[in-house]
Structures are given as structure tokens and as C-alpha cells.
């Protein structure tokens, strides 16, 4: 039985043409090989102690490398001499990147501009994305689809100051339509923002890169992970990024922020990239959100 035939809770509308079939081993392998190398694990350290994990993606625009994640993942970095961001390099070694940062707390989005020296230390298998990998968020099919998310939940990781043994997890969500059910009608850390935030319902299990299934663990560490959806085309060529995960409620409901917020933040923080961004997405409203730009060495 295809996954999309599983019962959905009230208000959750499965797509008319299910694009993802995790029950098919071949299709599953193609999807996993496409999405897993694109996710980047992010660690916060205080001294030798890993405090928190997040997930991001790296994009290259006009030769500039930008790491996209949730703002709360990198909030407070640099406020203490001992606290820093750590990325995983070739062979699993940990290194501290050099970057400048722009973020908005509402919606919960951050973009880090990485130095080329930092990019050179990333694993050779790391996939660097481009604007071609982002869906045109103005298309009407956006709100009726399935989505695949890929990140690094804390419970699955083994990391110390020198080295990391990482275990990414991929899971499927269905877009939610209608009034949120009582179980998620709760106070989030920040309010929903119309046109920027949306709700997804989590599937029953996730997948490891080898295709083996796994129960969904606590999702701390998935914040900022990419949200992949299907646009007209073939797998994986039809897969595009629509947004990033920013919150979870009761381990079953996922809040994501549409990538248009990321685009606007990039244009405000680095105006020299605006022309290229507009070539892909047209005119943008760049005035939303309160920028908090800072530098990190």
C-alpha cells in the first residue's frame, strides 16, 4: 500500500497526485540520494560541550556561499567567548566557520555568509544548492502537496570537540488545510505569520540514508532543515525546496516558513545579490521583518 493511502487526521488533505512513494525501494533510494547530501548539520558549542544541533542548507549565489537555517539555531552566538558555531568538515572533523550573519526573529530565519576558507573545509560530498533548487513560491500548487524534510535530530548524533559521527533522518509530511485541530491549537514560541508560516502533519516514521525505517525521535536539531516538495517533473529533477522547518508541536505537527522570507532577507542583507535573485523570483517585498545583522570571526 502506498504511504499516501494511510489515514490522515481531520483537516489534512492528501495531494491528488502523490509524488513520493517511500514504499517503492527504487524511488526511495532516488529521493534519499537527492536530499541527504544537501543538508548541513550545525552545532553550538560552549567550551568542549555540544549544546545544541540545528540543520541548514548552503546556497551559492553569484559566487557567494550562504548557509540558510532558523534564527533560533544561531541566536546568541558570539555573545560569549566560549560559545561558537561548529560545522562538520571532511572526515568528520569539527571546525569553526568564519561568517557574517543576517536574521529575523519573526519569521524565524537566518542566513550566514560563509567565508571561502570555511567552504573549502566542508566535506567533498556536501551538495551546494542554487536558486534553481528553490520552488517558485508564487505557484498555486504549493499548498496542496506532500513534503520531505531532512535533518539531524540530536538523539541520533555522537559528537565531541574534534569529531562527529552523524546520522541524518528523512521524513515525510502532508500539508495541512483548514482550522488547526485542538491538539495543535497551542501557544507557539512566536505567533503564526500569515503568508510566511504554514503547518505540516508528520508521517509515522522516518528513513535513514540506507533506506531503513526508524521511529520519529524527538526532533530537536531539525530546526532550519530544508523542506523539499515536488513540482511538475520527474524525481529527483522535480524536487525543489519550498521552505525551512522552524518549530514542532507534540512531535506530530511541523511549522515551516516559506523560502520567500529567506529571499527577502538575502536581498536586504547583501544588496549586490538582489539582481540575480530578482531574475529568478521577480520583484520582492523586502521590508518585512526586523533585521539583526552581526559578524562572527
Residue 13: predicted pLDDT = 57
Domains identified in the chain, total number: 2
In a domain, 139, yes or no: yes
Q: State whether 28 and 118 are in the same domain.
A: no
CA atoms within 13 A on the CB side of 237: 3
Tell me how far apart the alpha carbons of residues 96 and 40 are, in angstroms, rounded to a whole number.
14
Lowest mean pLDDT: which of 64-73, 93-102, 140-149, 196-205?
140-149
In a domain, 187, yes or no: yes
pLDDT digits (tens, 9 = 90+) for 102-124: 988 888 999 999 999 999 999 99
Q: State whether 211 and 135 are in the same domain.
A: yes
Tell me how far apart the alpha carbons of residues 292 and 295 are, in angstroms, rounded to a whole number.
10
Residues constituting the chain:
297
In a domain, 266, yes or no: no
Element (H, E) at 193: none
CB atoms within 10 A of CB 22: 22
Q: State whether 137 and 243 are in the same domain.
A: yes
In a domain, 32, yes or no: yes
Q: State whether 150 and 236 are in the same domain.
A: yes
**Burial class of residue 234 (count of CB atoms within 10 Å of its CB; 0-12, 13-18, 19+):** exposed
CB 101 within 8 A of CB 67: no
CB atoms within 10 A of CB 193: 16
Q: State whether 30 and 150 are in the same domain.
A: yes
Q: State whether 149 and 252 are in the same domain.
A: yes
CA atoms within 13 A on the CB side of 104: 21
Tell me how far apart the alpha carbons of residues 249 and 255 are, in angstroms, rounded to a whole number.
8
Tell me how far apart the alpha carbons of residues 245 and 79 are, in angstroms, rounded to a whole number.
25
* pLDDT value at 261 more than 60: yes
Handedness of CA 193, 198, 201, 207 (dihedral sign): negative
Q: State whether 25 and 164 are in the same domain.
A: yes
Q: State whether 206 and 173 are in the same domain.
A: yes
In a domain, 51, yes or no: yes
Q: What per-residue string of b and e applies to 122-139 under the rule 16 or more CB within 10 Å gives b?
A: beeebbbbebebbbebee
Contacts of 267 (CB under 8 A, 6+ apart): 273, 274, 277, 278, 284, 286
CATH of the domain at 160: 2.40.10
Cα dist from 61 to 131, 277, 297, whole Å = 7, 8, 22
* pLDDT value at 133 more than 80: yes
Domain of 83? 38-129+288-296
In a domain, 221, yes or no: yes
Q: State whether 225 and 168 are in the same domain.
A: yes
In a domain, 278, yes or no: no
pLDDT digits (tens, 9 = 90+) for 154-189: 776 777 666 777 788 888 888 776 666 666 666 567
Lowest mean pLDDT: which of 106-110, 197-201, 250-254, 276-280?
250-254
Q: State whether 120 and 146 are in the same domain.
A: no
Pairing of the two strands 226-230 and 239-249: antiparallel
Residue 143: predicted pLDDT = 46
Q: State whether 19 and 82 are in the same domain.
A: no
CB 10 within 8 A of CB 29: no
Residue that wins the pLDDT comparison between 291 and 80: 80
Of these ranges, 214-218, 227-231, 264-268, the one predicted with the greatest mean pLDDT is 264-268
Q: State whether 135 and 231 are in the same domain.
A: yes
Residue that wins the pLDDT comparison between 237 and 256: 256
**H-assigned helices in the chain:** 25-35, 71-74, 116-120, 260-269, 274-281
* pLDDT value at 227 more than 60: yes
Contacts of 68 (CB under 8 A, 6+ apart): 56, 57, 58, 59, 109, 110, 111, 224, 226, 244, 262
In a domain, 282, yes or no: no
CB 73 within 8 A of CB 92: no
Amino acid at each position: 500500500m502506498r504511504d499516501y493511502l494511510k489515514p490522515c487526521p481531520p483537516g489534512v488533505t492528501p495531494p491528488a497526485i502523490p509524488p513520493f512513494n517511500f514504499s517503492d525501494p527504487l524511488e526511495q533510494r532516488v529521493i534519499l540520494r537527492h536530499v541527504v547530501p544537501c543538508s548541513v548539520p550545525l552545532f553550538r558549542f560552549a567550551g568542549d560541550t555540544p549544546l545544541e544541533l540545528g540543520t541548514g542548507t548552503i546556497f551559492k549565489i553569484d559566487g557567494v556561499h550562504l548557509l540558510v537555517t532558523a534564527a533560533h539555531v544561531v541566536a546568541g552566538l558570539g555573545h560569549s567567548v566560549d560559545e561558537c558555531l561548529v560545522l562538520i568538515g571532511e572526515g568528520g572533523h569539527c571546525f569553526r566557520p568564519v561568517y557574517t550573519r543576517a536574521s529575523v526573529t519573526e519569521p524565524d530565519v537566518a542566513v550566514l555568509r560563509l567565508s571561502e576558507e570555511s567552504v573549502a573545509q566542508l566535506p567533498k560530498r556536501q551538495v551546494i544548492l542554487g536558486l534553481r533548487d528553490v520552488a517558485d513560491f508564487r505557484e498555486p500548487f504549493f499548498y496542496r502537496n506532500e513534503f520531505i524534510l531532512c535533518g539531524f535530530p540530536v538523539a541520533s548524533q555522537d559528537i565531541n570537540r574534534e569529531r562527529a559521527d552523524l546520522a541524518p533522518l528523512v521524513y515525510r509530511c502532508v500539508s495541512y488545510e483548514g482550522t488547526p485541530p485542538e491538539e495543535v491549537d497551542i501557544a507557539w514560541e512566536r505567533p503564526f505569520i500569515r503568508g510566511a508560516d504554514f503547518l505540516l502533519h508528520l508521517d509515522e516514521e522516518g528513513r535513514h540514508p540506507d533506506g531503513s525505517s526508524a521511529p520519529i525521535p524527538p526532533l530537536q536539531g531539525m530546526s532550519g532543515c530544508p523542506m523539499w516538495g515536488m513540482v511538475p517533473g520527474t524525481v529527483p529533477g522535480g524536487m525543489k525546496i519550498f521552505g525551512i522547518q522552524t518549530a514542532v508541536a507534540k512531535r506530530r505537527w511541523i511549522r515551516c516558513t516559506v523560502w520567500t522570507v529567506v529571499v527577502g532577507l538575502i536581498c536586504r542583507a547583501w544588496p549586490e545579490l538582489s539582481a540575480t535573485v530578482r531574475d529568478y523570483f521577480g520583484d520582492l517585498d523586502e521590508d518585512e521583518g526586523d533585521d539583526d545583522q552581526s559578524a562572527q570571526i
